[in-house]
Amino acid sequence: MCRFGVFPGWALRGYSAIMMDIENAPLGLLLKRAGWMSPDDIKNALIHEARQILVEPPAHNFFSDVNKIPMFTVISRNSYYLGGMMSQRLVIGRYCSISHNVDLGGTAHDMAGLSTGYLSQNFYDEIKERQNTAPKADDPITVVGCDVWIGVGAFIKGGVSVGHGAVIGAHSVVTSDVPPYAVMAGNPARVIRNRFDDKTIERLLKSQWWTLPAKDVTALPKENVEKCLELVEKIRGT
């Protein structure tokens, strides 16, 4: 449970209040994609109701400033982001390392109309109105899974899903979904290799080690993947 003083302006809310309308409420739609968070995790998360943002502590200091986070965003524990551009309708998993100048969830301008720009004389009001439009059930959501590493200057297109354990190389342009544990790089980004062999990837995904209590994850021998898997399987009873 985090303290009120950690992130000023945030509040703790009950699970039922957040999830009452999970099929249609903005935050509910996002949390459906964050399958690694249990009801208890959500109960203990920081919620900014007005902006429909959920941050699961502990989180990087960047996320303590609600003005740096776009509306309709879920950020999971032990993930850091060193700065760049974040777009709304975004879910970030646990144990993610996101470097400088990363564009998460970038969207395209509409090319079918008269102009790709903003025609209103109230320029900033028009931008704010677009940014504050709540997502609907069929709107694309950008999802960064757990244990993802994104290198400096990378671009992740809006609506893309980055699989658990994936690595995105520096300055890559990711325009399509990224498989779990794939290493992708380039413009457009392509799979260079996988982090592990197929059998190990299957065991890692099955283990869902990122859903263990934080104290159990901390105790894992990070440098020895095989030993980690054996310990997680023992904890799971599999």
Q: What tens digit of pLDDT does each residue of 105-133 get?
A: 987 777 888 888 777 776 656 656 655 66
Which segments of 76-150 are extended strands (E)? 80-81, 84-86, 90-92, 97-98, 102-106, 142-144, 149-150
pTM: 0.87
Q: Annotated catalytic residue: which of 60, 109, 164, 171? A: 109
In which band, very low, low, confident or very high, does the pLDDT at 15 lie, cut at 50, 70 and 90? very low
65-95 per-position pLDDT tens digit? 888 898 899 999 999 999 999 998 999 999 9
DSSP class of 40: H
Q: Of 24-28, 46-50, 147-151, where does mean pLDDT reach its minimum?
A: 24-28
Structure tokens at 190: 């392509």
What is the percent of the chain with per-residue pLDDT over 70, rounded to a whole number? 83
Domains of the chain by residue range: 15-195, 197-238
Question: Which amino acid is present at 190?
Answer: R
Instruction: Specify the pairing of strand 46-48 against strand 53-55.
Output: antiparallel
Q: Which pLDDT score is estimated for 131?
A: 58
Pick from 99, 39, 95: which is nearest to 220 by CA?
Answer: 95
Structure tokens at 71: 């509306």
Residue 109 among the catalytic residues = yes
Q: Which fold is adopted by the domain 15-195?
A: UDP N-Acetylglucosamine Acyltransferase; domain 1 (2.160.10)
Cβ atoms within 10 Å of 149's Cβ, excluding its own: 17
Query: Per-residue DSSP letters for 131-173?
Result: HTPPP-TTS--EEE-SS-EE-TT-EEETT-EEPTT-EE-TT-E
Residue 4 confidence (pLDDT) above 60: no
